[in-house]
Structure formats: structure tokens, C-alpha cells
Structure 1
């Protein structure tokens, strides 16, 4: 587990390790947990696996919200504990409620995200983009003042997120990427749920072949 602070950009990455389980299979995974804000307040995106490790990275800052880009267990398994420990509301898109209940049947989110909803932290604004396909309620969070978009498992360095399991759909994720993400500025930094960051411009050319397949 590693932490890569980038506080001059208002973004920090904490990498935590655990498992992802769905459709009877289980896989070892490393997840990116994103902390967005400043030295005083932050939003936590996709708290995975290890609430203690994430709390260490938060320190004494106020958590404005705990946001899940989608409800696969490896993106939400530490969310209730983190929300309870910080007193921050836990937010998820309503269309992922069935997936959420598979991991947390006795704890509902505190609120639901919707397309174009705006979240404010440390004077910066994050706009919710509904980007279904990997899951029905998958969202990305666009922070134009920071020149970045947090894409969860919708867009990675090298292409779209996986769509071979329950609740996913390939043509839908292609439409989401084409209509919601590729319309952003080419130099927008893409910060995904796993692996390295990239840019919209770097992914646009290669994604054309995926878009062609999605028609």
C-alpha cells in the first residue's frame, strides 16, 4: 500500500490492496483512493479495503463527502466505516443500489448522485457525470479547475473498463466515454480507479477503435 501526495494539485492518491468479488469469482486488486481538496478539507473518492490507511492519509482534515464512483465491492468496502468515522455523507448513484446491497445489505448510502450534480470542496467544484456501462450507476467526477477527471472503472490508460460481468454493458460504456469523457479538454488528466493516470488526449485516438466496435 502506498501514498503518492500531490497536494500542490489538490489531489492525493492512496493505493490500497484487497479483493474484488463478483459472479462467483474473486481477484486480488490494487485500488486508487483519491483525496481531493486542500490542507483543511477534502472529498474522498472510492474508499477501498482499508479505512485505517485512508484515515492516516486524511489526518485532521474535514471530510466533506465520501463518494463512490460505482458499487463494486472493491470500491465501496471501506466506505461505511470511513463515513461513520468522519461524519461525512456517503454518496452513490441510485442505479447502483442493487450492487451496493450485495456488499452492504444493512447500510444504505446517505444520498444519491445524479448527472450534473456539483460537489464543492476547498473552493473547487466537481461535476458528476453519469457514465454507465461498467455498472448501471457508474459516475465520473470532473474537476475543471484542477484539470482532471476521476473516472472510476469507466476509462483507464489503454481503454474502457471491463464489461464482461453482471450489470455491465459494452455499448453503454462506449457511449459514456464518447459523449461524456472525450468531450473534455484533451489535456484533462484521467485518474482511474486502478493503475496509472493518463489524459483524455492520449486515450482519444486509441479509443476510436473501441467506439467503432460499440456502434
Structure 2
């Protein structure tokens, strides 16, 4: 049996540049009845651990270092004896949320992570954050886009550590070339597909260059 996808929505706050906002985050659990990985341990370690149950948590994979995506990561890591993986370019953002705890391992572009016999490919997609990544799972025809791509367009780039031309280049070079039926599971809100987003993304690319 190939890996399955479970989604959990948790609520909390996002803080950056002196502001704080209420947010709902999508937490994804990928795996089978024996082992899983978590993408973005947001807000509620207890709820995420309950959803994992007795399965082995292989890793907590962070799409980026904004506090709303990583605030529950240390507690979940401790509860499940699992490592936290983050792209090193997002170390400054991580340290704002967890100044006394570092991630355990680095994510890198092109890296392949295996869970339940299914490959997860790491795509470095900076722009929303310097170390933002997406996780592409070809067997499941799915990409977990964090805050790089949403239903309706690219992620926000109006705050510190973000850059609009960079996110447009990331989407153009790393995501638009994926099969059009690839399901996009973002860090917030509803899912979409590469094919649904392609027409508007091409307009964004023109504006980004």
C-alpha cells in the first residue's frame, strides 16, 4: 500500500515585523499504518500527536521557518522522538520562534525522503522565505506547497525575508513544470492543482519579470 495523506487544521497566531495575526494552518500527515512524516507542525502538538497515534513519526518536515508553521515542532519532536528538518536558509526565522532549539537536520533541493515506500522530493522554492521548500510526491500526484503557492496565486512577499521576483522565479522553475493534474496542498486554505493555477501564474510571471 502506498502512502496516504491526512490533513489536520490547527489554529494559532502568526507574528512577524511587529504584527500578530490569527491564522488557521494545514498540517499534513503522510504515511501508512506503521510510519509517517508530518509537514508543518503548527500550533497544537497534542492534536498532531493524537492524529499520528501509535505510528512511528520519522520526521517533521518544515516548508519554512515562520512561527505559525513551526511553533509546535519542538514539542511534537520531543513527544514522538522525531527529528525536525528545515532548510538552513530559514535559520534566522526559526530562531525567532525557537531561540534555544535548533532543527535537527537540513533540507536540501533535490533531496529525497522515503516514507512508507513512497518518495518525497524536496524542491527549494525561496521567495516567501529564503529557505522555503515544497515537497513533491510523484506517486501521489501531489505537491505540498507551504506558503509558496495557494489557490489563486503566489504566497505573500510583503514582509521581511521575502521577495516577489524570487517567489515568481521559484514557481516558474520548480512548480509550473509539474504535471497539470498535480494536486497542490498549501499551508493555508483550500487545495488546487497546477493546471488550475497555470493561467494566472503565467500572468504573475510576466509581472515578476
* CA shift digits 1:127-146 (9 cap, x unpaired): 00000000000000000001
Does 1:204 find its partner at 2:198?
Answer: yes
SS of equivalent residue, structure 2 residue 166: helix
SS of equivalent residue, structure 1 residue 109: coil
Distance in 1 separating the partners of 2:114 and 2:77: 17
TM-score, length-scaled by structure 2: 0.98
* Contact preservation (8 Å) 2:2, 2:116: no
1:21 maps to 15
* CA shift digits 1:75-128 (9 cap, x unpaired): 000001111111111000000000000010000000000000010000000000
Distance in 1 separating the partners of 2:170 and 2:2: 30
1:99 maps to 93
* CA shift digits 1:130-178 (9 cap, x unpaired): 0000000000000000110000000000000000000000000000000
2:127 maps to 133
Distance in 1 separating the partners of 2:34 and 2:105: 23
2:34 maps to 40
Does 1:186 find its partner at 2:175?
Answer: no
* CA shift digits 1:166-211 (9 cap, x unpaired): 0000000000000000010000000000000000000001111110
1:82 maps to 76
Does 1:166 find its partner at 2:160?
Answer: yes
Distance in 2 separating the partners of 1:155 and 1:9: 23
Per the TM alignment, residue 9 of structure 1 is displaced from its structure 2 partner at its CA by: 6.5
Distance in 1 separating the partners of 2:130 and 2:17: 16
Per the TM alignment, residue 40 of structure 1 is displaced from its structure 2 partner at its CA by: 1.1
Q: How many residues align?
A: 209
SS of equivalent residue, structure 1 residue 114: coil
2:106 maps to 112
Distance in 1 separating the partners of 2:166 and 2:144: 18
Distance in 2 separating the partners of 1:120 and 1:82: 20
TM-score, length-scaled by structure 1: 0.96
2:145 maps to 151
1:66 maps to 60
Q: Which runs of 5+ in 2 are unaligned?
A: none
Distance in 1 separating the partners of 2:3 and 2:120: 14
Which runs of structure 1 show a deviation greater than 2 angstroms over 4 or more consecutive aligned residues? none
SS of equivalent residue, structure 1 residue 142: strand
Q: Which runs of 5+ in 1 are unaligned?
A: 1-6
Distance in 2 separating the partners of 1:79 and 1:198: 26
